[in-house]
Structure 1
């Protein structure tokens, strides 16, 4: 069975929910209390329920993982990743305002992998279309990452 050599995740509405807004719409400073992360207005930042299990699966299968986020507030996104204690899980992180095409060009250069060896998850169809055009297997995430979507996508990738 063929598995992707690199799995790339978007952040907002893909790996996490920031109280129903993009992370660059939050209001720092962030407060961490009892493993809960809130912004100044009380918006809760949380990973979707299956994300830890998905990241663990990637670790267990020795699949490299990366982030591609075009947030206008990359420092906030990195701070939230730190508060969520998942920064170390990602081999690569392209987090800055730009096209996903630029993110993937940087990921390809940094990883040395071909686009056809990558699997990408994002909640925006325009990103799916753009990155899919590179030859990256690109999966639309409708309501946050789930284990069901993740494993079905791995199966689809293997059948390509």
Structure 2
């Protein structure tokens, strides 16, 4: 009888724990891949890759190495309209969605790898906004960012579609074009296809990923801080505070809401551009919402 009770308790606790994780990642296998950025092996691989390739020079990189800029300990991104477009609710509204596929026009190109843009089942183009690919590449490959935790706060729906997209989007080094823009590949007939560094999902820490349409952003951040500190305490790290965090979101209301907690928020109506990224790093920590004037 005691064995039966013990087995029942173990099953209940395991099921309960799995349920609590659903808003963070869909399954254990995904979690393991999703958190590879934090492993020592991944760090060594990125460091070796970074030395062997010509990494892009950025103002955030220069400033942090000179010690003149304090880097955030946690960086959180919104998804829809911030890192990619269209927003997933637009696909739902048009009875569109998965299966998502690689854009064959990109796959046959001589300058960009598969996973550059994706297509919905009805052929809707899904792409990363602004300088998202370059910024995520920096966060994944540059050693100065290893201590920083990267996460997501999103109310996208359905979240399983978002996870699917993150599994498929390729992250690779992006070159400047002739105008100095950071968000496009230099397209020439003799260009070499860049090597894919990782998939989008690999950049993020699963403990710091909340995709929940029913929870407002302020509440999500309270949970994110609690979860980050649970892990930091177990690793003997200094406890995090809201002032240690940066948040990028394309909705003004979300930025205002989270900024009241003490988080440095960046309003990104055009997605995470390199200008928005530099603004955040150069002005962190800030006691206001950074970016263009908000509509309300």
Q: So what's the TM-score if we normalise by structure 1?
A: 0.90
The answer for unaligned runs of 5 or more in structure 2 is 1-68, 108-113, 170-198, 230-239, 288-296
Q: Deviations over 1:117-160 (max 9, x none)?
A: 00000000000010001110111002111112101211110577
The offset of 1:32, in angstroms, is 2.3
* 1:41 match: 122
The structure 1 segments of at least 4 consecutive aligned residues displaced by more than 3 Å after TM superposition are none
The offset of 1:58, in angstroms, is 2.4
3-state SS, counterpart of residue 210 of structure 2? strand
- Alignment partners' CA distance in 2, 1:41 and 1:90: 29
**Structure with bigger RCO (C-alpha 8 Å, 6+ apart):** 1
| Matching of residue 89 in structure 1 with residue 203 in structure 2 | yes
The offset of 1:24, in angstroms, is 2.8
Question: Do the aligned residues in 2 keep the contact of 1:58 with 1:64 (CA within 8 Å)?
Answer: no
Normalized per residue, the structure richer in strand is 1
Counterparts of 1:11-30 in structure 2, within 5 Å, are 11-18=79-86, 22-26=87-91, 27-29=96-98, 30=100
Q: CA RMSD in A?
A: 1.6
Normalized per residue, the structure richer in helix is 2
* 2:258 match: 131
| Matching of residue 76 in structure 1 with residue 161 in structure 2 | yes
Q: Aligned pairs, how many?
A: 157
* 2:45 match: none
- Alignment partners' CA distance in 2, 1:46 and 1:57: 19
Change in 2 beyond 3 A, CA 1:111/1:88 = same
Q: Deviations over 1:48-107 (max 9, x none)?
A: 241122123223222221111101211111111111121110012111112111211121
